[in-house]
Amino acid sequence: MHSPILDLDFIDSRTPEQASATSCDTKVTEETNTGRQRKLYIESYGCQMNFSDSEIVSSILFEAGFDTTSEAANADLVLLNTCSIREKAEQTVRHRLTQLQHLKKKRPGMVVGVLGCMAERLKKNLLEEEKMVDLVVGPDAYRDLPSLINEVDEGQKAVNVLLSREETYADINPIRLNSNGVSAFVSIMRGCDNMCSFCVVPFTRGRERSRDAHSIVREAQDLVKQGYKEVTLLGQNVDSYKWQSEDGVEKVNFAQLLERVALISPDLRVRFSTSHPKDITDEVLYTMKKYDNICKYIHLPAQSGNSRVLELMNRTYDRNWYIERVDAIRRILGEDCGISTDMIAGFCSETEEEHQDTLSLIDYVQYDYAYMFFYSERPGTLAARKLQDDIPLEVKKRRLQEIIDKQREYSQIRNQLAVGQVQKVLVEGFSKRSDEMLSGRNDQNKVVIFPKQHFKKGDYVNVLITDCSVGTLFGEPVH
């Protein structure tokens, strides 16, 4: 995720530093050596939920006798944790699997497997038709991995892509992969009940179910004991989190869960992703306002600024509803609250006038940054079955570029507002360009670069913002 380059399946208006903190990316395992007999290598693609799942998988396989390696060439087991949200994501994984076939010929006995959303969607193609993998495991079957690996060791192909209505992995303590030791993901729910017409997630991750609130709090408490300073609560739609005890006496919604996690420690920053415009309540917003350690930043995907297109997308809200939610955020949390979004250009039958509605919504909200796509039809979705992908590619690309150009203007404007302010920054490490500069994020999830001086990773530093670019703030520590 870099500053906009016409790739052109997905565009993000932020810097690489911001991107690595938030969404679509690729990550691999780090090296661990505790004397276990076999080595595991995982590459994770796509959303934060996939990265969180890879930490669960690593924990399960650690107990089954696997250390991790940062080099696929040294691995006994190579797993790709995949994404099906866009065609380009699947193409990337297919290309990587082809590379691994060459590596496998040099390393007899290596097992190659596919996990996650692409595994669920393309199991037959990957196992039988293309013979690219030994193992295919869906998002709800990770506990079965040790026995599936045994099947492969005995010379069979192995598959489990069954979806569950109960599995939340609440009892598994994730092994933190690629961790900076400062920020960690905590999964609070799995699956999705929102049947957006363009999206494959309900079919690849199953129905929505919320994790036991007590297990979430315990995991966050353990992270604080380990020295972590920030947690991000993850779910396909966190605002619809709703858990109750087996006896039905205790009930916890998302606002109440937020409060429980915020109360663990005033030094623990709390973030969350992703919010659905139909579900984010004033109760959540007032809880955010009540606690200084809940970050004032909300990712609120709009997808389109036109009500007819939103109805075709089955988003269950219209333009006015979305604007009312933005107004509530600004009214309750103030103009400084960061808001980001997703936008899709060229959805089925979108007219030029409807495209202009998307541009005007960007004008109204003035997002801090955005993930921007042109529409890519996904097999099996409602849109693929019932709607015609009738917008020419060159029109999609042109509309997307217009969205990008407008959003970059507002990213610059929103960053410029921070110049002259003193902001609290959590240090995550060195800047990518210099070991004399530190990089961290402010409340609004924006990257701030400033001189190292005597500060270190994990410190909170008050920084006077002195300059900015489209994607980054620059400043000086204030003592």
Each residue of 371-418: pLDDT tens digit? Answer: 999 999 988 899 999 999 999 999 999 999 999 999 999 999 999 999
Residue 174 lies in a domain: no
pTM: 0.87
| 47 is known to lie in a ligand binding site | yes
Q: Are 366 and 287 in the same domain?
A: yes
CATH number at residue 445: 2.40.50.140
Q: Are 284 and 302 in the same domain?
A: yes
Residue 23: pLDDT band by 50, 70, 90 thresholds? very low
pLDDT digits (tens, 9 = 90+) for 220-270: 999 999 999 999 999 999 999 999 999 989 999 999 999 999 999 999 999
Residue 5 lies in a domain: no
pLDDT digits (tens, 9 = 90+) for 62-83: 999 999 998 999 999 999 998 8
CATH number at residue 134: 3.40.50.12160
Residue 3 lies in a domain: no
Q: How far apart are CA 230 and CA 241, in angstroms?
A: 20
Residue 345 lies in a domain: yes
Residue 29: pLDDT band by 50, 70, 90 thresholds? low
Number of CB atoms found within 10 A of residue 479's CB: 7
Q: Are 392 and 253 in the same domain?
A: yes
Residue 24 lies in a domain: no
Nearest to 233 by CA among 268, 281, 181, 192: 268
pLDDT of residue 130: 64
Using the 3D structure, point to which of 110, 125, 160 is the last residue of a domain: 160
Number of CB atoms found within 10 A of residue 380's CB: 12
Q: Is the dihedral of CA 239, 263, 189, 54 positive or negative?
A: positive
Q: Are 253 and 299 in the same domain?
A: yes
State the Cα angle at 344 between 339 and 349, rounded to 5°. 140
pLDDT of residue 408: 97
Residue 379 lies in a domain: yes
Q: Are 316 and 284 in the same domain?
A: yes
| 295 is known to lie in a ligand binding site | no
Domain that holds residue 432: 422-477
Residue 166 lies in a domain: no
Q: Are 398 and 273 in the same domain?
A: yes
pLDDT of residue 203: 85
Using the 3D structure, point to which of 415, 430, 462 is the last residue of a domain: 415
Q: Are 187 and 335 in the same domain?
A: yes
Q: Are 461 and 392 in the same domain?
A: no
pLDDT of residue 92: 87
Q: Are 374 and 343 in the same domain?
A: yes
Q: How far apart are CA 132 and CA 362, in angstroms?
A: 43
pLDDT of residue 26: 61
Residue 9 lies in a domain: no
Structure tokens at 153: 């060791």
| 24 is known to lie in a ligand binding site | no
Name the region of 349 (left: φ>0; alpha: ψ -120 to 50; beta: rest). left
pLDDT digits (tens, 9 = 90+) for 169-228: 988 888 887 778 999 999 999 999 999 999 988 888 889 999 999 999 999 999 999 999
Q: Are 409 and 432 in the same domain?
A: no
Bridge partners, residue 10, by sequence: 373
Instruction: Please give the tally of structural domains in the chain.
Output: 3
Average pLDDT over residues 133-155: 93
Q: Are 192 and 126 in the same domain?
A: no
| 348 is known to lie in a ligand binding site | no
Q: How far apart are CA 429 and CA 458, in angstroms?
A: 8
pLDDT tops 90 at residue 31 = no
Q: Are 237 and 371 in the same domain?
A: yes
Percent of the chain with pLDDT over 90: 74
| 83 is known to lie in a ligand binding site | yes
pLDDT of residue 28: 65
